[in-house]
């Protein structure tokens, strides 16, 4: 079977064309015979967005893992504080203990906020690239 968008041969059970990324879920997305367009046309047409999108997705995945690690470290520090604060007497000492915890969480909190902003920015960039890719694919089908 062949992709009706780019003409490349497809693997059995594929949901997307490995060459052009076209969805194969629609009935007209797959042809059983040889492609209707010439092979020369298909080899020249390469998705200009595919590599950028792949790289951006990998970068986002790494940032989300980093964010998860920061959150886990902050959660562990809070849990440690909650476990030990019961043994600190009330009053000035307890407030000082809480201030120490806040101080220790200040830097990770800034890192967390920075990562969240960068993830949001990259997700917006990814969305723009995916929209541009869809428009490009529609133009290629004409």
Do 76 and 120 lie in one domain? The reply is: yes
Q: What is the mean pLDDT of residues 6-25?
A: 74
Q: What is the mean pLDDT of residues 101-128?
A: 95
Do 42 and 81 lie in one domain? The reply is: no
Q: Which residues contact 6 (CB under 8 A, 6 or more apart)?
A: 17, 19, 20, 22, 35, 42, 45
pLDDT at 40 over 70: no
Do 135 and 69 lie in one domain? The reply is: yes
Domain that holds residue 34: 1-46
H helices present in the chain, as ranges: 39-44, 50-85, 92-141
Structure tokens at 54: 């792949």
Do 116 and 78 lie in one domain? The reply is: yes
Do 10 and 32 lie in one domain? The reply is: yes
Are 115 and 63 contacting, i.e. CB atoms less than 8 angstroms apart? yes
Burial category of 60 from C-beta neighbours within 10 Å (exposed 0-12, middle 13-18, buried 19 and up): middle
Do 18 and 69 lie in one domain? The reply is: no
How many domains, the chain?
2
Are 2 and 10 contacting, i.e. CB atoms less than 8 angstroms apart? yes
Do 126 and 101 lie in one domain? The reply is: yes
Do 99 and 33 lie in one domain? The reply is: no
Assign 52 a pLDDT band (cuts: 50, 70, 90).
very high
> Residue 31 has what pLDDT?
64
Q: What is the DSSP letter of 27?
A: G
Assign 37 a pLDDT band (cuts: 50, 70, 90).
very low
Do 30 and 66 lie in one domain? The reply is: no
């Amino acid at each position: 079977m062949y992709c009706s968008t780019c003409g490349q041969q497809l693997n059995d059970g594929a949901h997307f064309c490995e060459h052009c990324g076209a969805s194969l879920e629609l009935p007209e997305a797959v042809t059983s015979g040889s492609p209707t367009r010439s092979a020369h046309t298909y080899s020249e047409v390469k998705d200009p967005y595919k590599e950028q999108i792949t790289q951006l997705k990998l970068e986002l995945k790494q940032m989300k893992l980093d964010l998860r690690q920061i959150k886990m470290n902050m959660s562990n520090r809070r849990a440690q504080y909650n476990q030990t604060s019961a043994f600190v007497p009330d009053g000035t000492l307890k407030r000082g203990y809480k201030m120490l915890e806040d101080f220790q969480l200040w830097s990770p909190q800034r890192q967390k906020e920075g990562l969240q902003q960068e993830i949001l920015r990259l997700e917006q960039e990814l969305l723009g690239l995916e929209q541009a890719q869809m428009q490009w694919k529609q133009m290629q089908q004409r």
